[in-house]
Amino acid sequence: MRLLLTNDDGIHAEGLVALENIAKVLSDDIWICAPEYEQSGASRALTLSDPVRVRKLDARRFATSGTPTDCVMLAISELMEGAKPDLVLSGVNRGANLAEDVTLSGTVAGAIEGMAMGIPSIALSQTGWPTGNDDIFAPAERFAPGIIRKLVETGWPKDVIINVNFPARPADEITEVEVTRQTFRDINVRHAEKRTDLRNREYYWMGFRQERSSPAAGTDLKAIYDGKISVTPLHIDLTHLETVYRLKGVLGGVPPKA
């Protein structure tokens, strides 16, 4: 199995080391193309107004000046020699990608670009910080290979990616995987903190408050809150069909007069 690895935390990220360790359990045909610098929150940004530069680190490892989307597109179309990858793995992100945050995530976007180019793709994210004697990525490294194998054996639709999140618990305490649906938080955790630099000029630092929602059973947030591994199939058809059907009776036919 030929694997393409990418991320949004950058070519030197610890999570990419963890992803490479995961990949080595699955294959010895591993290619890596990741951003030169962190691109968290880049979503599906494609670099159109600036050149994208590629730095070749070794025969199968590349860093680019672009986004995760740029990396996957360039790797598949230009950089990988021979066959296209059989699977794209994006991550392992340091921090969860859950609920509405999946639309902001460069990690999820890397998987979406793989899917858009016809390659089955999985995004992997690790919640939280080190616990006990574990490295932060210990849960992902222990459980991801088996989950990926089972997913590949089972398969999934061509217009779907798989979004996997690992809870912030010692690996020995994680006993369950749950297939979940994406949810939305009932509170807004994104905020801008106003600060002042040494020249007395104001600026803002964007971030997330560590506040919990009250999610329903079966959702990605609830699974992570309960210490389970969350596996969520996602697709990018954002159409709200209920509203489509309702509006057809109002706006169908001749355009309304002003």
Q: Are 54 and 64 in contact (CB under 8 A)?
A: yes
Rounded Cα–Cα distance for residues 152 and 154 (Å):
5
pLDDT digit string (tens) for 58-86?
999 999 999 999 999 999 999 999 999 99
Find the helix or strand (DSSP H, E) in which 122 lies.
strand 121-126
* N residues, the chain: 258
Rounded Cα–Cα distance for residues 113 and 96 (Å):
19
Q: Return the higher-pLDDT residue of 252 and 109.
A: 109
* pLDDT at residue 195, as a whole number: 93
pLDDT digit string (tens) for 2-58?
999 999 999 999 999 999 999 999 999 999 999 999 999 999 999 999 999 999 999
For residue 130, pLDDT beyond 60: no
Using a 10 angstrom Cβ sphere, with 0-12 exposed, 13-18 middle and 19 or more buried, the burial of residue 178 is middle
* pLDDT at residue 180, as a whole number: 98
Q: What is the pTM of this model?
A: 0.93
Q: Are 213 and 203 in contact (CB under 8 A)?
A: no
* pLDDT at residue 206, as a whole number: 85
Q: Are 39 and 68 in contact (CB under 8 A)?
A: yes
Rounded Cα–Cα distance for residues 15 and 11 (Å):
9
Question: Looking at residues 125-132, what average pLDDT do you find?
Answer: 77
Question: Looking at residues 140-167, what average pLDDT do you find?
Answer: 98
pLDDT digit string (tens) for 234-247?
999 999 999 999 99
Give DSSP secondary structure letters for 7-43.
-SS-TT-HHHHHHHHHHHHH-SEEEEEEESS--TT-T
Confidence of residue 103 (pLDDT cuts 50, 70, 90): very high
* pLDDT at residue 131, as a whole number: 58
For residue 129, pLDDT beyond 80: no
Query: Six-digit token pair at 147?
Result: 């989950």
Confidence of residue 202 (pLDDT cuts 50, 70, 90): very high
